[in-house]
Structure formats: structure tokens, C-alpha cells
Amino acid sequence: MSATTIAILGATGGCANASLVHSLLAGYDVRALARTPSKLTSQLLAQGLTQQILDQHLTIIHGDATNVDDVKRTLVSSGKLVSLIITGLGGKPVLQKSLRRPVTLDNPGICSSSIEALLSALRAAYDENPSTPAHKPLLAYVSTTGITNGPEDVPFGFRFLYHVLLAVPHEDKRKMEYTLKSHMAQPENERLLRGVVGVRASLLTGGIDYKAGKGWKTLRVGTEESPAVGYTIPRPDVGEWIFEELIKRDGGEWVGKIVTLTS
């Protein structure tokens, strides 16, 4: 068993689900928040994980990622905080009658509101147990290209889709990233997290099947300052990259950076 304990939010989504599967197969202990625990269990069993692995290494917390208590129960077990948090939360795309903003989400503020809940949950955990801030967790979140402050990271053919049609979901991601950036700009003793890694993926393809990608080593990887620009990326590859580069290496050289990933 590894000393790293992981909390995963959004584990029934393709990216975080692949990170979860790789982590469980490698023997990590994972706490996953799910609105529908049976959905998560079915997804894992369908990918070949055994009930024994789930019983040994997975704790599913039934709850909502915008509820501070539910998030705190996910992050803390027997007074101990997890060491790594992965969030792949997102909303479901919904079409609306607007020429300017035709695509919205069922919950257009899910990423930003869940990050606020996460920070509040950590604050509450530290207040309850003053020794926990000595072991602050690292956070990795899945975000999107198209919201950069650096050089353009969307290929020419996708710019209308990204900068016009997807403006609503992107606004939420921007807000989430801004909240985290502002939080981490505080003096170290006021930060609730040890570090943050942003993972901006290009257009996601595929679904829930950790074996269905092309392999994390085939990916092109950049940063906000020097982005890897491409059209698409399979969800399983995003999850595998997070597992190999962030979970196994405790964030490695990516801590404090915003990474762009594409096939």
C-alpha cells in the first residue's frame, strides 16, 4: 500500500475515472465522492476491477461536490487528510436559444462553486484538527484549453467553437482557475493547499474505458507559456497522464504549473 491517499471528485467522468482505475490497480487507497455510488461501482466492475480491489482500496462517499460537509467527509478520514486531490468535475452540455451563447451547462457554475466548497472544506478540516495543516494536500484539476492568458492554445479550426460557442462552460473554468491562482498567491502559511497543477485538455473524445486511449506517452504536453496545440485527446489518456505524472510522482515538476495536453 502506498503512503499517498487520494481523493477524487468527478470520478464517474472519463478523465478522473481513468485516474481512479489506474490508482486502484496500483494499490493506492482512494476516497471518491459520487452523487450515485452505484454508477461508479458499475463503471469500475465493467472495466474488470474486482470487488476485492474495491473493498480493499476504494471508499465511496455519497454526496455533492458543492456541499462543504460532503467534500470534507471525502478529504478527511479518522482525522487524517488525503495527500492528493484530483478533480474532474464538470457539467452536462445543454443547448439554449441564444445565437451568441448556444451551449450552456446543466450547472454552469459547477467548477467554480465546487472549488469554493473544496477550499471551505479544507479550512473547516484545519480548524477542527490543528495538526492537519502540516500535511496539506496537492490539488490537480482538469480544465480546458481556450482560456489561456498565454499564447493561443486552440488550433485555428476550433477557434470559433471554443471562443464563441463554448463561452459559458469556459467562463466557469476561468473562474475556477482564478480562484485557485488568487488563493495560491497568498503567503504560504495562509494557503490551504501544498500546491496546484492545472491540466488543460484539448477536446475530449471517448468515454469510460481506461484501456481505450492511445497511451499517455503518445501525448503532446505543454504549459500555459508554451502550449501543446492540438485538436483532440481521449479521456482515458488524460486520466492516465494524471496518474503517471502527478499521482505516481507527487506532482513532479508540474506543481505550480498549468499543463496543456493533446494527442
Ligand X SMILES: NC(=O)c1ccc[n+]([C@@H]2O[C@H](COP(=O)([O-])OP(=O)(O)OC[C@H]3O[C@@H](n4cnc5c(N)ncnc54)[C@H](OP(=O)(O)O)[C@@H]3O)[C@@H](O)[C@H]2O)c1
Which residues are at the interface with ligand X (CB under 6 A)? 10-15, 33, 35-36, 39, 64-66, 88-90, 107, 110-111, 142, 144, 169, 201, 203-204, 235
* Rounded Cα distance, 15 and 207, in Å: 8
* Rounded Cα distance, 180 and 197, in Å: 10
> Is the Cβ of residue 234 or residue 251 nearer to ligand X in the bound state?
234
Q: How far is CA 14 from CA 11, 142, 177, 234, in A?
A: 8, 11, 21, 9
> Is the Cβ of residue 5 or residue 143 nearer to ligand X in the bound state?
143
* Rounded Cα distance, 239 and 182, in Å: 26
- Min CB(187)–ligand X separation in Å: 30
- Min CB(2)–ligand X separation in Å: 24
- Min CB(153)–ligand X separation in Å: 11
Q: H or E element: which one contains 24? A: helix 14-25
> Is the Cβ of residue 10 or residue 230 nearer to ligand X in the bound state?
10
- Min CB(131)–ligand X separation in Å: 29
> Is the Cβ of residue 35 or residue 135 nearer to ligand X in the bound state?
35
> Is the Cβ of residue 58 or residue 142 nearer to ligand X in the bound state?
142
Q: C-alpha grid cell for residue 239?
A: 486520466
Task: Specify the DSSP class assigned to residue 252.
Answer: G
- Min CB(92)–ligand X separation in Å: 7
What dihedral angle (degrees, nearest 10) is formed by the CA atoms of 15, 16, 21, 26? Answer: 110
- Min CB(158)–ligand X separation in Å: 10
Residue 160, classed as helix, strand or coil, is: helix
Encode 43-61: b = buried (16+ Cβ within 10 Å), e = exposed.
Answer: bbeebebeeebbeebbbbb
> Is the Cβ of residue 76 or residue 118 nearer to ligand X in the bound state?
118
